[in-house]
Structure 1
Amino acid sequence: MDFLTSQGNFEQVVQIAKGFYARKDRAHDLDHALRVREWGKKLALAEGADVIVIELAALLHDIGRSGAVEKTHAQSSAGLADNILHKAGYPETVIIRVKEAIIAHSREEGYEPKTLEAKILYDADKLDFVGAIGLGRLFTLGGVQGWPLVGENSCESFYQEKIRSYHEHLFTKSALNYFKPLFSYMEEFWHKLHKEMI
């Protein structure tokens, strides 16, 4: 038996998460959560963190993004995760750590990742916003928001104001190593785009 399932019913968590993500924008959907899960597993193995906590937190970190009942989507996601994980049979010790990671993954309301698992979830979430996938997500988000490609309140301004500074806040050395080539790809894209613009 897989250790994930020996702690609780992981497949039940996945099925419930699918329902929540079906209502989310395509930049924050189940595919995003699953990619964050994969990044999280890589970082957890490299940094010696609890893989179970990382996988569960990654899977559930954005389920409260739309229709949030709390102040922030992270707080809402953490509250929903509490109920889901209890129903799936996970022990309180795991649930507390998962919620702690989720609530700090966006640093809203001044929350800072303090545990290794919270830091890894934060880093894994940011790694899914760089490289070719990061560009795809950025343009998907831009479509939802109605942003133009360049100019004020655009995809490019979001990139300049947010994504370009992600490397300054990554917590793990492993994440920074993965981040650098993906970030270089994005920088090259914007450089080429401006060269091609008429």
Structure 2
Amino acid sequence: MSPDLEPLARHLAMPYYDDALPAHDSFHAKRVRDLSLRLAADWDEPVDRGVLAAAAWLHDVGRPLERTGEIDDHGEWAAARASDLLASEGVAADRVDAVVHCLRSHSIRPSSPEPETPAAKLLFDADKLDAAGAVGLVRLACIVGERSGRAGEKYAAIDTGSVPGADDAGTPDLTLLREWARERLDALYTPPGRRHGESRWAFMQDFFDRFEAETAIPDT
């Protein structure tokens, strides 16, 4: 008998998140799992929810290795690793292949294949939505810090760049977070994903307006 896929995938994935930083940790994986299933419930396409949930747990298991430069593509690495792990646990080959496709196609990088199945499209959308809205703003700020730490220099400044003569002139500013979020929301595949994206983007617009008001140069 084939094992229950989601709890198996969660069990197999958890050790790989031990060294993950906050933007791509097991909490992110769980949010993506929860949101992807919520999107599936709002879509009239048939979806293998076990495959979808399993892929959500496994999609970022390679992030710690990518961050340290040990691998180049966490999606491809996760796909290969998940294929071996799931097959060794007796998961049916067709479901292993379905999870692998989700993992290979979940990234927004140009080299990633297009998601072709409903499960792959939902995973992609849920992952990108976790970079938008209130949670997304926190995650994107974490990514700026993570990249700064890896490069050994400031990756971006949490400012609007509106202060003349500031030390951070020329460094990307808060506009970078807006661009990252918009790029991901523009790439969404599913109708429920796009509906959620509109709501999260509206919140982000309000946030950016408030941020700019708080950092505005006072009238003299």
Q: Same fold (TM over 0.5)?
A: yes
The corresponding residue for 1:19 is 15
Match of 2:42 among 39, 43, 46: 46
Aligned pairs for 1:48-63 within 5 A: 48-63=46-61
Contact 1:138 1:155 in 2 (8 A): no
Query: C-alpha deviations, 1:147-176, integer Å up to 9, x for none?
Result: 321355546243233211323221111111
Query: More helix per residue: 1 or 2?
Result: 1
Match of 1:173 among 191, 196, 199: 191
TM-score calculated relative to the size of structure 2 = 0.80
The corresponding residue for 1:79 is 80
| Partner SS for 1:195 | helix
The corresponding residue for 1:136 is 138
Alignment CA distance shift 1:138-1:81 (3 Å): same
Q: Which moved more, 1:171-180 or 1:40-49?
A: 40-49
Contact 2:129 2:193 in 1 (8 A): yes
Gaps of 5+ in 2: 149-155, 162-169
**Separation in 2, partners of 1:6, 1:40:** 23
Contact 1:57 1:101 in 2 (8 A): yes
| Equivalences, count | 194
**Separation in 1, partners of 2:171, 2:128:** 21
Q: Which amino acid aligns with 2:37?
A: K
Q: Which moved more, 1:35-44 or 1:110-119?
A: 110-119
The corresponding residue for 1:160 is 178
Alignment CA distance shift 1:153-1:14 (3 Å): farther
The corresponding residue for 1:119 is 121
**Separation in 2, partners of 1:94, 1:194:** 48
Q: Which amino acid aligns with 2:183?
A: S
Give the 4+ runs in structure 1 shifted more than 6 A: none
Alignment CA distance shift 1:37-1:107 (3 Å): same
The corresponding residue for 2:89 is 88
**Separation in 1, partners of 2:12, 2:78:** 13
Identity %: 30
User: Following TM superposition, by how much is the alpha carbon of 1:102 offset from its aligned partner in structure 2, in angstroms?
Assistant: 0.8
User: Following TM superposition, by how much is the alpha carbon of 1:83 offset from its aligned partner in structure 2, in angstroms?
Assistant: 2.0
Query: C-alpha deviations, 1:10-68, integer Å up to 9, x for none?
Result: 43432331211111121000000000001111122222311111101111001112324
The corresponding residue for 1:104 is 105
Q: Which amino acid aligns with 2:157?
A: P
TM-score calculated relative to the size of structure 1 = 0.88
Larger Rg: 2
**Separation in 1, partners of 2:171, 2:11:** 36
| Partner SS for 1:89 | coil
Gaps of 5+ in 1: none
**Separation in 1, partners of 2:5, 2:89:** 5
Match of 1:36 among 28, 32, 39: 32
Q: Which amino acid aligns with 1:141?
A: I
User: Following TM superposition, by how much is the alpha carbon of 1:113 offset from its aligned partner in structure 2, in angstroms?
Assistant: 1.0
